[in-house]
Amino acid sequence: MPLTVFTAAEARTFDKGQLADGAAYPAATIEAAEIDISAEFADILGFYPVSTVTTAEIYDGTGTEELMLVRPYVTTLVAIVVTDTDHVADTWTLDELADVAVYESGRLVCTTGGYFPLGHQNVAVTYISGLTTVPGDLQRAALMVCVRRLCATDVPWEVTSGNYEGFNWTATVDPSRNRWYGNDRVDGVLARYRRMLPGIA
């Protein structure tokens, strides 16, 4: 079973059980919200909050033994395909993949003489990255967003102050000031994890 930020069962029992009614909030609706929230969190954080496969992400070959992937917290290198100037694709073998050192930061380094041929959008990388265990505070933040999103309310997203189901939404949404959702308990968690990106190793 794929890792998710939260499950429908967890959403149903969260807080006051606002999503407990299966007829009003079908599992498919909650699961669709989880996918959207996970993607939003990934855009904000700069990394996936759960282990996620990125398929055939395209890079410019550096002409060196190093390549830097977009997402950090890389756990598995699945495939590399290099296309030459004649548009012939070369899929690296398992032995060639094993030659690549994978760093948490997303840095790839060929260790025994291999390299990423110089070129424009000639290297396609498939890899798995993201957190392998969802921290409790990040999950709670996602559940708060889910409840706020799915439960009917007259309270607008962008408000200067207010309270909904015990959640204080006290600031205008302003991504430039780390105010993505307008809630301290959500935005504060996201801002903290955003600062925890792994460095270049």
Asked whether residue 13 falls in the same domain as residue 61, the answer is no
Asked whether residue 117 falls in the same domain as residue 143, the answer is no
The total of structural domains in the chain comes to 2
Residue 200 in domain: no
Among residues 129, 164, 183, the one where a domain terminates is 129
pLDDT at 200: 46
Annotate 113-171 with DSSP letters as a single string.
S------SS-EEEEEEES-SS--HHHHHHHHHHHHHHHS--S--SS-SS-EETTEE--S
pLDDT at 155: 55
Among residues 112, 129, 146, the one where a domain terminates is 129
Residue 1 in domain: no
Give the three-class secondary structure for 175.
Answer: helix
- What tens-digit pLDDT sequence spans the chain (201 residues)? 458 999 999 999 999 999 999 999 999 999 999 999 999 999 999 999 999 999 999 999 999 999 999 999 999 999 999 999 889 999 999 999 999 999 999 999 999 989 999 999 999 999 999 999 999 999 999 999 999 999 976 555 445 556 655 666 555 677 777 889 988 889 999 999 987 777 544
Asked whether residue 63 falls in the same domain as residue 24, the answer is no
Residue 87 in domain: yes
Residue 2 in domain: no
Asked whether residue 84 falls in the same domain as residue 20, the answer is no
Asked whether residue 125 falls in the same domain as residue 61, the answer is yes
Asked whether residue 190 falls in the same domain as residue 95, the answer is no
Asked whether residue 82 falls in the same domain as residue 34, the answer is no
Among residues 129, 155, 183, the one where a domain terminates is 129
Residue 201 in domain: no
Question: Which domain covers residue 93, as residue numbers?
Answer: 52-129
| Closest listed residue to residue 105, CA positions, set 38, 43, 46, 188 | 46
CA distance 133 to 64: 33
Contact 181, 36 (CB under 8 A): no
> In Å, how far are 1, 134, 145, 167, 194 from 19, measured between CA atoms?
22, 21, 12, 15, 28
Question: In degrees, to the nearest 5, what angle opens at C-alpha 91 toward C-alphas 90 and 96?
Answer: 110
Residue 90 in domain: yes
pLDDT at 74: 95
Residue 92 in domain: yes
Beta bridge partners of 81: 91, 124
pLDDT at 1: 46
Asked whether residue 139 falls in the same domain as residue 125, the answer is no
CA distance 117 to 126: 17
Give the three-class secondary structure for 179.
Answer: strand
